[in-house]
Amino acid sequence: MNKTDSLIFLFAAFLLSGIHIPNEGKLMNAYSKLKSLERDYGISIYTGNFSASSYAATNAEWDFLDESDSLALLEFTNILAKEWRKYPKDWVVKSNLMAIALVKNLSVNGQKRFAIPDAFGEVLYYDIGYAHYGENYICHSIHHEYYHMIEENSFGTMYYNDPYWISLNDVNFNYGPGGAAAYGDDNFAASLHPLSGFVTGYSTYGIEEDKAEIFAFLLMKNSYLALEEWASSDIILKNKVVYMREFIQNEVILMDSAYFSFIHGF
């Protein structure tokens, strides 16, 4: 076998192994990535059975993952690892997060949910079965839902009626009835920068959603660029972004503008 033949053989072997990775191999790949996240951030990541806090057990329902979920788990793990590594360890330590629970068929009161922040058990639940929503939705929601826990950790409630934040809005603006109400109104909820001061329609449903949306926009490159552009001519939004950036940097000093430029590759 000459050198060219060897390369062709190796390439063919690689292709075949790519097509026929056994479930066990996929699982091992996902587990090793999750183990690295656990080690690097000092958290647990549940992929099987675990005991839930009474808050989660009372308010939510889900199914634990099993071996049939290995491909979905691998796909979700690739996205989670990429997004999670945008956070420095200090940010995660300060948030008091204890664990991430990867589950399926997650719901609250029969309403399907991609994620549930259990701010009392300090566990963030993600449903790995949302690949059909697209990677952008999953990445955005990973950060958005985590922010709800950060809000509770910093202000004692996920629904903090932050007076300074409210003062930034137009005096005639009132928030809607909370994020849960948006689930029947997908078109408006998904609309981008629908009015001054708000990155999405969903932001208008509640102050907690408004803050979580801006946080998530800061963590994703394309959203970050859109946010910068909108804020250049929207003073309400600009002030909210300044507030959020200061809040973040107040928690972890290294998370300044240069840090965000770094994680977005600018």
Residues 14-73 touching Zn ion, rule: CB under 5 A, are none
Q: Between residues 127 and 209, which has the closer beta carbon with respect to Zn ion?
A: 209
- Minimum distance, C-beta of residue 208 to Zn ion, in the bound complex (Å): 6
Task: Please choose, out of 6-14, 69-77, 131-139, 202-210, the segment that lies near Zn ion by the rule CB under 5 A.
Answer: 202-210
Note whether 212 binds Zn ion by CB under 5 A: yes
**Dihedral (CA of 80, 104, 122, 108) sign:** positive
Radius of gyration of the chain (CA): 20
Q: How many residues bind Zn ion (CB under 5 A)?
A: 3
3-class DSSP state for residue 113? coil
What is the distance, to the nearest Å, from the Cα of residue 167 to the centroid of all Cα atoms in its chain? Answer: 27
Question: Which x/- pattern, by CB under 5 A, does the window 81-120 give for Zn ion?
Answer: ----------------------------------------
Task: Please choose, out of 29-37, 127-135, 175-183, 253-261, the segment that lies near Zn ion by the rule CB under 5 A.
Answer: 175-183
Q: Between residues 15 and 181, which has the closer beta carbon with respect to Zn ion?
A: 181
Residues 123-152 touching Zn ion, rule: CB under 5 A, are none
- Minimum distance, C-beta of residue 103 to Zn ion, in the bound complex (Å): 18
Q: Between residues 144 and 193, which has the closer beta carbon with respect to Zn ion?
A: 144
Nearest to 237 by CA among 250, 226, 251: 226
Could you tell me where the beta strands, DSSP code E, fall in 61-206? 61-63, 99-108, 111-112, 115-118, 123-127, 192-195, 198-200
- Minimum distance, C-beta of residue 22 to Zn ion, in the bound complex (Å): 38
- Minimum distance, C-beta of residue 200 to Zn ion, in the bound complex (Å): 11
Q: Between residues 152 and 209, which has the closer beta carbon with respect to Zn ion?
A: 209
At CA 63, angle to CA 57 and CA 66, rounded to 5?
135
Return all residues near 205 (Cβ < 8 A) that are at least 6 apart: 175, 176, 177, 178, 179, 181, 182, 189
Q: Between residues 212 and 241, which has the closer beta carbon with respect to Zn ion?
A: 212
Long-range contacts (CB closer than 8 Å, 24 or more residues apart) made by 183-189: 183/111
- Minimum distance, C-beta of residue 130 to Zn ion, in the bound complex (Å): 15
Note whether 182 binds Zn ion by CB under 5 A: no
3-class DSSP state for residue 40? helix
DSSP bridge partners of 44: 99
Quote the CA–CA distance of 237 and 230 in Å, as a whole number.
8
Q: Which of 117, 121, 129, 179 binds Zn ion (CB under 5 A)?
A: 179
Binding site for Zn ion (CB under 5 A): 179, 209, 212
